[in-house]
Amino acid sequence: MRFPRFLASCLALAISLDIVSAAVAADSSDEFDLRQLTDDNFRSEIAHGVWLVEHYSPKCSHCRSFAPTWLQMAKDKQHLERLTGFHMAQVNCLAQGDLCNANGIKFYPQLMLYVDGQPKPHYTGDRSYIDLEKFIDEHSSTYAQSYMAAGTEEGRGLGGLKPNPDGVVAEIDEAQFGSLKESGPVMVEFFAPWCGHCKKLRPTYEQLAETMKGKLNVVAVDCDNHKGFCKNAGVQGYPTIRMYHHGTRTEFSGARSLDKLTAFAEKAVKVTTLQPIKLDDFDSVLTSDEAFFLYLQNYDTTVADLNSVKAALEPLLGSVPAYTSSDPFLYQKLNIANPPPTSVMLAFSSHSSRPVGSLSFPTTAESLNRFIQLHRFPTLVELTGSNHNSIMNSDARPIVVLGALHKGDEGKKEMDSLAEVAKAWKKGGRSFAQPVWFVWVDGEKWSGWLKQQYGIKKGQLPSVVVIDPPMNEYYDTTIEGTQITFDGTSIFSVLEGVYQHFLRPKRIESTLEWGSRSAAATLITFGQMSVDHPLLALVLLVGAVGLFVGLLQKCNGRDLKDSGSGGSRLD
């Protein structure tokens, strides 16, 4: 009696295992379904993207042997549908004989490749997982690069006409200027016929126009004949050279040599604002560019999002490199979801492979512009005479954290410390309406300028101030009421106070204001002296006034000379 009971127990266990196995199999099949194409949906499905289609027959033994590899590959490459537009599907030729015959299927299984509805040479490699994966990665990546390249092509000129067809400097009026701006970037020299610097520049400027023939409109405005135009443009000295593009203007502040002017002009005529790259290109980009943007696209990226990115980058006139990619291996290297829920913009700085900022799409134009302005410079950048205007007089109206550092190894350590503060701010600081930029200067070389502008003495290095350039003001007191010090806690406290409008700013004095204030203080001192020594006071007063007038004329003359020749003054 025990033996039959034992058989019954074994039978029950076997039935239970079969039920469990069936349940697992059912769960596995429910987890992923192979896409099936029929005569009704074949043309519409393969019309867009890359499609690798297996034509098979249930009766084919080779098809049954290949089935596990095909199923696993379809699971593993499912993410490529949204990332690169690559799809995998099947056609059952036993049920869809006419469709297979129409596609010229001669044997089973046969793997056919279609790109945007057009048949390509079928797969002839080994049906191993490794070989098939290599084929898929190659074709999906190539397709992604092709549609990204097509999306980043830019038209030049207006109505198909090339700019500056004769390679000459065209003298224009305000109406002509408005028309030229509609057709692309315009480089403008505002000049006066009597200005010696303008006369000296003209031959070089004409050479520039010849160099940029067919590439960029190079024009000039006679401010004696068009005073209203120049006044409305905010021209304050001659010559003033600017680039106008997409509603923005960028002033040229470098040395007025042909090489420097050409480099400035070339930034405005780059054919693309987004350069497609792959994983293999990333390390070289990281090495060559101190700061850059990377826009990661996928197959679902909309034209509206792509156009918004290009429009936001174009006013930078190529001053910040920008790249785009949909390479799955680059996603993997950057530890980003593959594919991400949306397209994403990354900002990189200081040759670090870790992005300092990211922005997901869709987003508003305001948020995108704020993100680009925040990260357009490296995390920490040196303030020099050549970039002073683009930083301190930027249309972005930034808040500038300025560090005055020592020279040599000591200064290098201070620079690293300030860079860490800047990185921490980018990661977790307040979201100001305007960007916050961190810059540094050689505090020993620019000691006079620092003392005059911000009261920083040479013996106080390293020092830091927070500047609001549009308001011509600065802050050197924390929210707790203490003097700002060269450390992250103190700098963050000042920025918090600026954000909350808790702090009272100090005014930045110009050279003329500084001289006037000093003269006034001196006159008060002489007034007090005249009570006790009237004759001596009179002699000293006359001499002091003459000395101050001479010094102010010399300072103002040097300011104009330095600003006109790209000299050594920061401002």
The CATH number linked to 226 is 3.40.30.10
pLDDT 10s digit of each residue in the chain, 571 long? 343 443 344 434 343 434 333 333 334 444 678 899 999 999 999 998 899 999 999 999 999 999 999 999 999 888 888 888 899 999 999 999 999 999 999 899 999 999 999 999 889 999 999 999 999 988 888 888 777 666 554 433 333 457 888 899 999 998 889 888 877 789 999 999 999 999 999 999 999 999 998 888 999 999 999 999 999 888 888 999 998 876 677 888 778 899 999 988 887 776 446 888 888 899 999 998 888 999 998 888 887 888 889 888 877 766 788 999 888 888 888 888 766 667 899 999 888 888 988 898 889 998 998 899 888 888 898 988 777 877 888 878 899 999 999 999 999 999 999 999 998 888 777 778 888 999 999 999 999 899 989 999 989 999 999 999 989 999 999 999 999 999 999 999 999 999 998 999 999 875 445 455 555 545 455 555 555 556 666 666 677 666 666 655 555 444 434 434 333 456 5
pLDDT of 432: 81
Count CB-CB contacts under 10 A for residue 391: 20
Residue 273 vs residues 357, 471, 540: alpha-carbon distances, Å: 19, 32, 63
Decide if 157 is inside a domain. no
Taking the CA atoms of residue 364, residue 365, residue 367 and residue 372 in that order, the dihedral angle to the nearest 10 degrees is 140
Instruction: Give the largest CA-CA distance in the chain.
Output: 141
pLDDT of 160: 43
Decide if 503 is inside a domain. yes
Q: Are strands 291-296 and 275-276 parallel, antiparallel or unpaired?
A: unpaired
Domain count of the fold of the chain: 5
Residue 535 vs residues 41, 342, 526, 528, 539: alpha-carbon distances, Å: 107, 82, 11, 13, 6
Q: What is the Cα–Cα distance from 23 to 39, expressed in whole angstroms?
A: 33
pLDDT of 338: 65
pLDDT of 335: 84
Q: Cα 267 from chain centroid?
A: 14
Q: What is the Cα–Cα distance from 373 to 364, expressed in whole angstroms?
A: 14
Q: What is the Cα–Cα distance from 543 to 541, expressed in whole angstroms?
A: 5
Count CB-CB contacts under 10 A for residue 384: 15
Size (the chain), residues: 571
Domain identity same for 484 and 520: no
- Could you say which of 306, 328, 363 is where a domain stops? 363
Domain identity same for 237 and 294: no
The parent domain of residue 554 ranges over: 512-565
pLDDT of 537: 61
Residue environment code for 123-154, b if the CB has 16+ CB neighbours within 10 A, otherwise e? beeeeeeeebeebbbebbbebbbebbeebbee
> Residue 482 class from Cβ within 10 Å (0-12 exposed, 13-18 middle, 19+ buried)?
exposed
Domain identity same for 486 and 549: no
Decide if 310 is inside a domain. yes
Contacts of 463 (CB under 8 A, 6+ apart): 403, 404, 443, 450, 456, 486
Task: Give the residue from 228, 230, 207 showing the smallest Cα distance to 218.
Answer: 207
pLDDT of 266: 83
Decide if 4 is inside a domain. no
Domain identity same for 517 and 424: no
User: Rg for the chain (alpha carbons), in Å?
Assistant: 34
Contact 456, 403 (CB under 8 A): no
Decide if 161 is inside a domain. no
Domain identity same for 345 and 301: yes
Domain identity same for 528 and 467: no
Contact 77, 136 (CB under 8 A): yes
Decide if 163 is inside a domain. no
Decide if 144 is inside a domain. yes
Question: Within the chain, how many helices (H) and strands (E) appear?
Answer: 20, 20
pLDDT of 14: 41
Catalytic positions are 195, 198
Task: Give the residue from 360, 453, 366 showing the smallest Cα distance to 402.
Answer: 453
Q: Where are the strands (E) in 121-203, listed by range?
A: 170-171, 186-191
Domain identity same for 495 and 520: no
Decide if 105 is inside a domain. yes
